[in-house]
């Protein structure tokens, strides 16, 4: 369905409204963006490279296997299959797939890390109400985990 909608949109067959309810922001593979990306789009997909902050004020961010972000990613939820060097802050959840490579700090209400993901840095869990003023930090590197 999404493929059909995207095809129709790119061909100009679908009306484009100013509503961001179904909006999609897409950084394709081979595209490099230097600077901050701020959007109200419901879905943001990054398969290219972003050097700067990605701020999705009311949506989800997916960073594909070929995608990379150097900076802060802020969204309702974040799915990581590519590379992030910096911070990931989600109001709801962060899911790191088996191909994910992350270095920095992540904070969410739910953290999901698949086997094989390479995570180096700190993690903090916060409640749905708000992030705590002094989050409890847990630092685990992939080498420390493998030594267990």
Q: What pLDDT sits at residue 133? A: 37
Q: What is the pTM of this model?
A: 0.74
Q: What pLDDT sits at residue 146? A: 55
Backbone angles phi, psi at 144, to 5 degrees: -65, -40
Q: What pLDDT sits at residue 60? A: 94
**Measured between alpha carbons, how far is 116 from 98 in angstroms, rounded to an integer?**
5
- More confident: 132 or 26: 26
How many other CB atoms sit within 10 Å of the CB of residue 146? 7
Residue 79 clears pLDDT 80, i.e. is over it: yes
Residue listed under structure tokens 């100009």: 12
Question: For all residues of the chain together, what is the average pLDDT?
Answer: 81
Residue 49 clears pLDDT 60, i.e. is over it: yes
Read off the pLDDT of residues 88-105 as tens digits, 9 standing for 90 and up.
Answer: 999 999 999 999 999 999
Q: Which H or E run contains 87?
A: strand 83-96
Q: What pLDDT sits at residue 25? A: 87
How many helices, marked H, and strands, marked E, lie in the chain? 2, 13
Short-list 81, 82, 94, 92, CA closest to 122: 94
Read off the pLDDT of residues 61-71 as tens digits, 9 standing for 90 and up.
Answer: 999 999 999 99
Q: Kindly state the tokens that stand for 131.
A: 């992030």
Short-list 74, 73, 141, CA closest to 113: 141
pLDDT band, very low/low/confident/very high, at 24 (cuts 50, 70, 90): confident
Residue 42 clears pLDDT 70, i.e. is over it: yes
Residue 118 clears pLDDT 50, i.e. is over it: yes
**Measured between alpha carbons, how far is 88 from 122 in angstroms, rounded to an integer?**
11
Reported for 77-85, long-range contacts at CB under 8 A and 24+ positions apart, including other chains, are 77/108, 78/108, 80/117, 82/46, 82/47
pLDDT band, very low/low/confident/very high, at 127 (cuts 50, 70, 90): confident
């Amino acid at each position: 369905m999404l493929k059909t909608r995207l095809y129709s949109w790119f061909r100009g067959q679908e009306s484009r409204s100013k509503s961001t309810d179904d909006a999609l922001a897409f950084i394709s593979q081979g595209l490099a963006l230097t600077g901050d990306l701020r959007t109200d789009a419901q879905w943001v997909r990054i398969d290219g490279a972003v050097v700067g902050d990605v701020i999705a004020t009311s949506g989800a961010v997916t960073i594909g296997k070929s995608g990379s972000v150097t900076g802060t990613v802020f969204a309702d939820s974040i799915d990581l299959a590519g590379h992030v060097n910096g911070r990931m802050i989600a109001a709801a959840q962060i899911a790191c797939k088996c191909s994910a490579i992350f270095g920095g700090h992540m904070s969410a209400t739910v953290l999901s890390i698949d086997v094989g993901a390479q995570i180096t840095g700190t993690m903090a869990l916060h409640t749905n109400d708000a992030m705590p003023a002094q989050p409890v930090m847990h630092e685990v590197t992939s080498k420390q985990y493998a030594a267990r």
